[in-house]
Every structure is written in structure tokens, then in C-alpha cells.
Structure 1
Amino acid sequence: MIKPDQKPPWVPIGQAAEYLGVSRDTLRRWEKRGQIKASRSPTNRRYYTKQQLDLVMNNKKHRFKLIPKEKIKNLPWKQLIIITCLSLGTTLLLGFLIQSLIMK
């Protein structure tokens, strides 16, 4: 919990979401999944450090730069679905899609 006398560069969830270009709900989901750790104020509000946000931003940039846009335009839709599932970390959906593609 954040103590009132501590003065690190705490960023509230709204500003953090804006900085990362995501919604507040996305930040809450990431916290639930363990992808980011929020500190809590005595009133239970979420706060993040600039260092945490920069780390997430760096990971976000690299995750979506794995395949150049020119190559994505020419990929078949099945491959695009698989790549999207992998980038979002939705392995259950990916397993279902692969199974359905193999069965056809």
C-alpha cells in the first residue's frame, strides 16, 4: 500500500491508461493476469510507477513489430487469426482455431 509520506512518481490508472493508449479496463485485466502490478492507496485506488509503464510500453511496441505490415497484408486470413491470438495471449482460442482448421 502507498503511504501518504512516500513521494515516488505514482501515476493514477486514468493517466496510465492514456499514456499506454489502452482503457482502464485493459489495465485492470492486465493486473488480474499478472502482467502488471498496481500499488494501492489507502483508499484502494490503483497507482503505477513511470518505470512500470515504460516497461509495458516497450513490451507492447516489440510485440506488434514482429511482422512487417507489408507481409501482414498478404497473409491468408487463417494465419492472421493465429498471429492475432498469439499476440493477445489467447491460447485457448488459438487451440480451438487450430483444431477447427485441421479438421476441415
Structure 2
Amino acid sequence: MMFAAHFISKIDENMSVLKMPIYESGYWDLKPDEAECLKGGRAYFHQTKQDSSYIGGKVLDWRKEETDAAHSERIVFTFEADFDGRGKPWRGRDHSMAWWSGLVSD
């Protein structure tokens, strides 16, 4: 089973191009086992839960990154953006404080 996840990420916020169409996005407060479940799956990035995804694609890899934030160990995803990553509706957790969908089947 492949998994997907949706994230709230303002355009250009913690998003960088490594080499088109390969991007990195972080810094996410996920557990390593959640990140590992997304490897080979899909990630979608939205401005808000009400907006369709503005970018998304296949998750190629992830790594841990130390930050100054609470729960300082954060996850950075490397993903290959594709056309199918755009225009997807939010799926998963949708309460007001949800910044990610949790793992959803793809």
C-alpha cells in the first residue's frame, strides 16, 4: 500500500529546488516511521486546507534536521514534483489545528 500526505505550506515557505523537478520541503514535526511510510508515496502542499495543492509529487527520500524549534528534530522531504501533484483537494485530518493530513492511502 502506498501512502500520501497533505501539508499546509505557504508558497516558497521552506521549499527549495534542488534540480528541477526535484524539491526539498521541510521542516516537519513528524516521527521517522511516519516519514519512512511516505518514501515512494506522495506529498501534496497546500496554502490552506480549503485550497487545492499548488505542488506535489513522489517522495524520494527524507532526512532528519536539527532546528531551534520546539521538538527540534524535524523531517525534510525530497520529492519529485509532477503535474499530478497540482490541484488535489485536501484529504485526511481537517480540524482547525491540522497542519498535515496524517498518512492517507493513495
Q: TM-score category by the smaller chain?
A: under 0.3
Q: Which structure shows the bigger proportion of residues in strand conformation?
A: 2
Q: TM-score, normalised by structure 1?
A: 0.20
The TM-score with structure 2 as length reference comes to: 0.20
* Structure whose alpha-carbon radius of gyration is higher: 1
User: Which gives a bigger RCO, structure 1 or 2 (Cα 8 Å, sep 6+)?
Assistant: 2
